[in-house]
Amino acid sequence: MRRAPGSAARGPLVAFMVKEVQHILRDRQTLTILILMPLLQVVLFGYALRTDIQDIRVAVVDPTPDYATLALRNRLGATDRFRLVQVLPDASRLETLFRRNEADVGVEVAPRFGTRLARGEPADIQIVADASDPNGGTTMAAYVNAVIDDFAGQMGASGGAVHIALDTRMRFNPTLASVNLFVPGLIALVITLVSALMTAISLSREKERGTLESLLVSPLRPWQIIVGKVLPYLGLGLTIVLLVLAAAWGVFRVPFRGSLALLLGEALLYTLVSLALGVLIAARTSTQRSAMLAALVGTMMPSALLSGMIFPIASMPAWLRPVTYIVPARWFIIIARGVMLEGVGLVNLWIETGVLVLMTLVLLVAAVRSFDARLA
Amino acid sequence: MTLPPNDEPAIRVRDLARRFGGFIAVRGISFEVARGEVFGFLGANGAGKTTAIKMLTGLLLPTSGEARVAGYDVYRETESIRRHIGYMSQRFSLYEDLTVRENIELYGGIYGLSDERIAKRSTELIARLGLHDVRDTLVGSIPLGWKQKLAFSVAVIHDPAIVFLDEPTSGVDPITRRQFWEMIYTAASKGTTVFVTTHYMDEAEYCDRVSIMVEGTIAALGTPNDLKSRYGAATIEDVFVRLARPAA
């Protein structure tokens, strides 16, 4: 376009982005929901929907009581969350206790526990949890596990002396407060919502109303349309992430041990994956409604259900676990939990980061290609 | 915006064809549109009009044949074509949740006009269309006729060499349609070539020349009077019905 020398022009891309910002700001209702919903979820999950459980009824099976098992029983009884309901001589009665709903967790101590410990031999403790509610069971078992770990440390025994047949996924969350684990997942969900869902809706709206046609015959290039569409939502998404972090820290003191810059960088990466997914969905659907449905089923649901955010991946059926590998949120949540709760750096997260980078590249190329004017 | 300094017609098409798999949407059409001409592009639904327009505006690659729009090749120079054409579809190009002024600023910006120029054109345009009182009203809440005139003005905001109008008057009342055609004539008198598709046969009579597409080919091309005398018909509508009937 010829223009007088020296005169200011915003250029097509900026003009287009200004319009996108106007769209976002003008739709007050959606904006309010986008900002308030995640904050409300932090508060809800923090207070109401706590998956961490109080008043766990513990039964101890102690065939040969000695100084060590007594110390363990005291330790369990002295923990706020636990109530020691019964001490049994053998495991046969445990089943009955569970059936009558008189105990939630059983702690079975191996015979001659103290003697074995003193000799440095492996001394086994088995934790049996009532898993009729699988998540509750896992959580309760993990609590007991944490206390026994602590006990083992106090006994001065080396890690190898007390064998516990349980994995220790929650070890970096020593208070085991669920809101801590939940916040990284919520961040993933917010980014998915704003980036994938909102972008898909907004792009497919242009398609449905016919405005996209006018954009495609204009000097705007397809990549400019995508970038102009995506950047404002990226800004919005990161702003909401910061708000969620501030709320989580301000209200629940959710720890932040790692680097904020690293987390934001990784959030940016995850945002790109989601945005690319949103663009792909919009390119493949023809109406706002179908784009919304596709985005809900294709991005929001897996991000909530298959990412480990709510349901631990380890407790999924074996056939379902491999499916979680293609859910971007799964990788981001590992990263976000690592950075926030464990304070780990990029060195320990390069595999997860690499997976996200790869997903971003593949999806971005696919998105731009599927959106190319020639194919429209 | 003026055409490159040569004597090429605004649009020149030779044996242009497009197939989709086994279906041939456009079967080798040829025509020329002179600069400043109002060219009516008629045809029944499914006759291949939309495919032809998509090829001319750079949205779709032809399968074979040649076409030059504003002097640029549709295969290799689509970016130049896009800068020299305007486009308005039957669904308009306006954003309903933006105000009148914001829509003008958006398209001015997309077509690379300077801020100064956008401000000037915006004031002019609002005054000419009598939209002063609604300039800060959302487009969604102004009457259809106003939207349509605004959409046309926005499509030619960068003074394009050619403006493509794809059924611009569908769904509006006869008075607004007449006013709309006055705007088309004004643009043409300033040298803008107008390429318009329509289903209203009375509108076809307003064109300098019309072409009628039937089953992917141009069945007739000429001035409205030529066509009427050639087919011994009283109106373009009669010509159209006669040509399109075998297809129906």
Domains belonging to chain B, first-starting first, are 11-247 (3.40.50.300)
B93 to A376: CB separation less than 8 angstroms, yes or no: no
- Structure confidence by residue, pLDDT tens digits, A280-316: 998 888 888 999 999 999 998 998 888 888 777 877 8
pLDDT of residue A115: 82
Mutation target vs A (from B95, B115, B150, B163; most A CBs, 10 A cutoff): B95
A274, A328 in Cβ contact below 8 A?
A: yes
pLDDT of residue A372: 67
B106 to A374: CB separation less than 8 angstroms, yes or no: no
Would you call B18 helix, strand, or coil by DSSP? strand
B107 CB neighbours in chain A (<8 A) are 218
pLDDT greater at residue A31 or residue A316 = A31
Enumerate residues 196 to 235 of chain A having a beta carbon within 8 A of any beta carbon in chain B. 209-211, 213-221
pLDDT of residue A131: 64
| Closest to A336 (Cα-Cα) out of A318, A314, A356, A358 | A356
- Structure confidence by residue, pLDDT tens digits, A136-150: 677 777 788 788 877
Query: pLDDT-based confidence at B187, cuts 50/70/90?
Result: very high
B58 to A220: CB separation less than 8 angstroms, yes or no: no
What distance in Å separates the CA atoms of residue B29 and residue B19, rounded to the nearest whole number? 13
Output the DSSP codes for A241-299: HHHHHHHHHHHH-----S-HHHHHHHHHHHHHHHHHHHHHHHHH-SSHHHHHHHHIIII
- Structure confidence by residue, pLDDT tens digits, A155-182: 765 444 454 444 333 333 434 446 677 8
A62, A90 in Cβ contact below 8 A?
A: no
B108 CB neighbours in chain A (<8 A) are 15
Provide mean pLDDT across the span A118-135: 73
Could you tell me the two tokens for A49? 């929907």
Q: Which residue of A has its CA nearest to B164?
A: A217
pLDDT greater at residue A51 or residue A306 = A306
pLDDT greater at residue A10 or residue A100 = A100
What distance in Å separates the CA atoms of residue A66 and residue A186, rounded to the nearest whole number? 47
Smallest CA–CA distance, residue B114 to chain A, in Å, is: 4
Query: pLDDT-based confidence at B93, cuts 50/70/90?
Result: confident
| Mean confidence (pLDDT) of chain B | 90
Alpha helices in B88-142 (DSSP H): 100-110, 115-129
Per mean pLDDT, which range of A10-24, A31-45, A233-247, B25-39 is the poorest? Answer: A31-45
Provide mean pLDDT across the span A18-28: 92
Share of chain B above pLDDT 90, in %: 68
B93 CB neighbours in chain A (<8 A) are 210-211, 213-214
| Mean confidence (pLDDT) of chain A | 81
pLDDT greater at residue A275 or residue A315 = A275
pLDDT of residue B4: 53
The number of residues in chain A equals: 376
Which residues have CB under 8 Å from A368's CB, separation 6+?
Answer: A222, A223, A226, A279
pLDDT of residue A178: 64
Query: pLDDT-based confidence at A78, cuts 50/70/90?
Result: confident
Task: Give me the CATH topology for the region A56-164.
Answer: abc type-2 transporter like fold (3.40.1710)
- Structure confidence by residue, pLDDT tens digits, B26-85: 999 999 999 999 999 998 888 899 899 999 998 889 999 999 999 999 999 998 999 999
**CB pairs < 8 Å spanning A and B:** 107
Q: What is the ipTM of this complex?
A: 0.87
A190, A241 in Cβ contact below 8 A?
A: yes
Point out the residue among A8, A15, A210 whose CB comes nearest to the CB of B106: A15
pLDDT of residue B155: 93
Share of chain A above pLDDT 90, in %: 23
B62, B69 in Cβ contact below 8 A?
A: no
Asked whether the predicted pLDDT for residue A135 surpasses 50, the reply is: yes
A116 CB within 8 Å of a chain B CB: no
**Domain locations in chain A as residue ranges:** 12-48+177-375, 56-164
Can you tell me which residue has the tokens 């279906």? Answer: B23
- Structure confidence by residue, pLDDT tens digits, B122-171: 999 999 999 999 999 999 999 988 998 999 999 999 999 999 998 888 88
Asked whether the predicted pLDDT for residue A341 surpasses 80, the reply is: yes
